[in-house]
Amino acid sequence: DIISSNRDNTDNETLKILSDMDNLEKSILQIQSMLDRVSKYVKEVVNGEREGNNVIGRYLLDTMSFIPNINATDFEKMFNKHLQDLLVVVYLANLTRSQLAIAEKLQNIV
């Protein structure tokens, strides 16, 4: 009974991780869409197809100044390392939970 309920918890946490991954993907797609809109706006202003707005230009300049200059390869390495660390922590937490359930079951037998 304890072990089966532990399996249910593990399955729920696996689903939670997957949903976190789905949320991350959704967020990345939203950011990519926003960047595409901003890029289109800037290109239109530069090409003279649209009149520029000083407030928007200043806001974009301030926003861009906060972004660190990291190349794509380094960013991907950092992201993957963080994701692997997160998955190891989840795995260890599940392993500890399983060991505690087994120890409790053994203690009830003795």
Per-residue pLDDT, averaged over 16-45, amounts to 85
Q: How many domains does the chain have?
A: 2
Residue 71 identity:
N
State pTM to two decimals.
0.50
Q: What span, in angstroms and rounded, lies between the C-alpha atoms of 16 and 10?
A: 10
Retrieve residue 16's tokens: 């939670």
Q: Is the pLDDT of residue 40 over 80?
A: yes
Averaged pLDDT of the chain: 83
Q: Do both 78 and 105 map to the same domain? A: yes
Q: Can you give the residue range of the structural domain that contains 9?
A: 1-67
Q: Do both 38 and 79 map to the same domain? A: no
Q: Do both 30 and 61 map to the same domain? A: yes
Q: Is the pLDDT of residue 87 over 90?
A: no
**pLDDT score, position 12:** 57
- Percent of the chain residues topping a pLDDT of 90: 38
